[in-house]
């Protein structure tokens, strides 16, 4: 057994210290793949050099809703889910012989607490811990940050429903991207820890989510990671090297997490992000049609803005209004005819509760002049906060790969270039030809050098570093 890690303190707040620097209707069908106080963090300082600190206070947690899932069952679920993320056929069909799971896995819902830096509230949060069922001794760890879900319950911990032998995962009810992570990592010898996020999962208690709210999201991921590591130890296993992986919303969460951990000296073996919107302000302007970019090389026509983007914009506004205390932000930002729709959607995330025929295009959603001139003090504060939360301008001192699709309907490749050009020598871009938002993510996990511009997939890359 290697030494247990010593406690380290995350700097406060967890902000980037370089400020310059869908109901019966398918929610996933709409989404189509978009998917404070100083805190003790008992994350791995590095498995080889960490020293035990007998005075550290272990984070509180509990494990519940256990599910044992065979590799065969995981393979079957992945086989069914694979085409939903590979609609443009960038990848070959799922191949059981070369891509099948290797080990049965055990899933637990994990419950811990987090203190929200923006509000100083302490709340219960849920997440998922997945480990190989036959694990003994040392175990590398993947911290997984999921993408956008336009519901309250399609979260990682929902996979514990697989405890029922008759339950089958679906695109409308479950986190299929988490399924892929469990299949690729837990079934190949890793522990996987994933937060459901604030305002998500069985303990949300009516709370709105903290969508692209930097400090709250980062602190939740840190606290869930710490709780997951402590839970692994409680199972007589030893967490060793730490890897980070995230997609879409989870990609910017992963960058924030990486930055916060490295600021505190936490060792990270490698980080992978897929379809990342590194700069929320730039993403907002792109989504609203206020900025356009040249066509990527080899692309004849860029895809139109998807119809689910206005829903994501509603969620951003609701989150910033709540967590940054910008009362009335929605009424200040959104055209009057869409106020009621926005409020109704944020209350229930129910597509049946709004008139979809009246859903605006993302370029028709905002008040006139929003990005060109002063329109309201709250609007100005909102734009400043979006800019403050950018993850783009960071000097990475540990390896990180950015997977981006050349026809990603939500994240233009030009936007990813901000982080690649500013990130330093440990930053690598992995363009995926012909890939949209979902397929970019799938390719990162299951692709090969022919798909990934000469790079191996994330599983192979991580495993080479163990």
What is the reported pLDDT for 25? 39
What is the reported pLDDT for 450? 97
What is the reported pLDDT for 14? 41
Statement: residue 40 has pLDDT above 90: no
- If you average pLDDT over residues 348-372, what whole number do you get? 90
**Radius of gyration from C-alpha coordinates of the chain:** 21
What is the reported pLDDT for 17? 38
* CB-based contacts of 328, cutoff 8 Å, min separation 6: 321, 378
* CB-based contacts of 92, cutoff 8 Å, min separation 6: none
pLDDT in tens, 79-103: 999 999 998 889 999 999 999 999 9
Question: What average pLDDT does the structure give for the chain?
Answer: 89
pLDDT in tens, 419-461: 999 999 999 999 999 999 999 999 999 999 999 999 999 999 9
Least confident of 43-47, 117-121, 243-247: 43-47
Across 321-346, b (16+ Cβ under 10 Å) vs e yields bbbbebeebbbbbbeeebeebbeebb
Statement: residue 26 has pLDDT above 50: no
What is the reported pLDDT for 363? 87
Which band of pLDDT confidence, cut at 50, 70 and 90, is reported for residue 244? very high
Helix (H) or strand (E) holding 192: strand 191-195
Q: 13: cis peptide before it, omega within 30°? A: yes
CB 394 within 8 A of CB 422: yes
Sequence-distant contacts of 382-387: CB under 8 A, at least 24 apart: 382/317, 382/320, 382/324, 382/326, 382/329, 382/333, 383/281, 383/284, 385/320, 385/324, 386/212, 386/280, 386/281, 386/284, 386/320, 387/279, 387/280, 387/281
Statement: residue 45 has pLDDT above 90: no
Q: What are the φ and ψ backbone dihedral angles of 416, each rounded to 5 degrees?
A: -70, -30
pLDDT in tens, 250-302: 999 999 999 999 999 999 999 999 999 899 999 999 999 998 999 998 899 99
pLDDT in tens, 206-235: 999 999 999 999 999 999 999 999 999 999
Which is it for the CA torsion 25, 29, 34, 35, positive or negative? positive
Residue by residue, DSSP assigns 366-387 as BPTTTTTS---HHHHHHHHHHH
Statement: residue 13 has pLDDT above 80: no
d(CA 158, CA 126): 10
What is the reported pLDDT for 307? 87
d(CA 120, CA 118): 6
- If you average pLDDT over residues 340-367, what whole number do you get? 91
Sequence-distant contacts of 412-418: CB under 8 A, at least 24 apart: 412/286, 412/293, 412/302, 413/293, 413/296, 414/293, 414/294, 414/296, 415/277, 415/278, 415/279, 415/282, 415/283, 415/286, 415/293, 416/276, 416/278, 418/278, 418/279, 418/282, 418/392, 418/393
What is the reported pLDDT for 56? 53
Which band of pLDDT confidence, cut at 50, 70 and 90, is reported for residue 362? confident
pLDDT in tens, 151-177: 999 999 999 999 999 999 999 999 999
Q: Is 352 exposed, middle or buried (0-12, 13-18, 19+ CB in 10 A)?
A: exposed
The region that residue 248 occupies, defined by phi over 0 for left and psi between -120 and 50 for alpha, beta otherwise, is: left
d(CA 387, CA 389): 5
Global pTM value = 0.90
Statement: residue 309 has pLDDT above 80: yes
Which band of pLDDT confidence, cut at 50, 70 and 90, is reported for residue 337? very high
- If you average pLDDT over residues 310-328, what whole number do you get? 97
Statement: residue 3 has pLDDT above 80: no
* CB-based contacts of 78, cutoff 8 Å, min separation 6: 94, 101, 179, 180, 183
């Amino acid at each position: 057994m290697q030494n247990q890690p010593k406690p380290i303190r995350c700097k406060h707040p967890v902000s980037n210290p370089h400020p310059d620097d869908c109901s019966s209707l398918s929610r996933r069908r709409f989404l189509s793949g978009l998917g404070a106080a100083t805190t003790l963090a008992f994350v791995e300082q590095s498995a080889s050099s960490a020293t035990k600190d007998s005075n550290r206070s272990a984070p509180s947690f509990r494990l519940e809703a256990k599910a044992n899932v065979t590799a065969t069952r995981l393979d079957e679920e992945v086989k069914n889910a694979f085409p939903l993320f590979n609609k443009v056929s960038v990848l070959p069909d799922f191949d059981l012989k070369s891509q099948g799971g290797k080990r049965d896995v055990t899933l637990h819902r994990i419950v811990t607490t987090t203190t929200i830096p923006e509000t100083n509230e302490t709340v219960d949060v849920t997440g998922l811990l997945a480990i190989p069922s036959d694990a003994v001794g040392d175990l590398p760890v993947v911290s997984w940050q999921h993408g956008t879900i336009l519901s309250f319950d399609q979260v990682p911990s929902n996979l514990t429903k697989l405890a029922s032998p008759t339950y089958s995962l679906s695109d409308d009810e479950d986190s299929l991207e988490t399924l892929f992570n469990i299949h690729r990592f837990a079934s190949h010898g890793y522990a996987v820890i994933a937060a459901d996020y604030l305002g998500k999962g069985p303990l949300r208690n009516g709370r709105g989510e903290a969508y692209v709210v930097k400090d709250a999201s980062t602190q939740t991921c840190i606290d869930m990671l710490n709780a997951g590591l402590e839970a692994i130890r409680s199972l007589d296993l030893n967490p060793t090297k730490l890897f980070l992986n995230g997609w879409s919303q989870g990609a910017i969460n992963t960058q924030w997490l990486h930055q916060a951990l490295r600021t505190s000296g936490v060792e990270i073996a490698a980080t992978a992000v897929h379809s990342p919107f590194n700069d929320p302000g730039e993403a907002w302007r792109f989504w609203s049609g206020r900025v356009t970019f040249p066509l990527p090389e080899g692309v004849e026509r860029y895809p139109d803005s998807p119809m689910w983007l206005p829903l994501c914009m509603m969620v951003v506004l609701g989150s910033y209004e709540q967590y940054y205390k910008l009362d009335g932000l929605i009424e200040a930002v959104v055209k009057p005819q869409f106020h009621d729709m926005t409020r109704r959607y944020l209350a229930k995330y129910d597509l049946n509760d709004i008139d979809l025929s009246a859903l605006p295009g993302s370029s028709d959603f905002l008040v006139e002049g929003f990005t060109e001139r002063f329109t309201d003090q709250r609007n100005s504060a909102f734009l400043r906060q979006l800019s403050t939360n950018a993850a783009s301008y960071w000097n990475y001192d540990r390896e990180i790969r950015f997977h981006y699709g050349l026809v990603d309907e939500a994240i233009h490749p030009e936007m990813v270039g901000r982080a690649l050009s500013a990130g330093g020598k440990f930053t690598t871009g992995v363009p995926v030809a012909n890939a949209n938002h979902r397929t970019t993510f799938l390719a990162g996990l299951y692709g090969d050098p022919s798909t990934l511009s000469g790079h191996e997939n994330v599983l192979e890359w991580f495993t080479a570093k163990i």
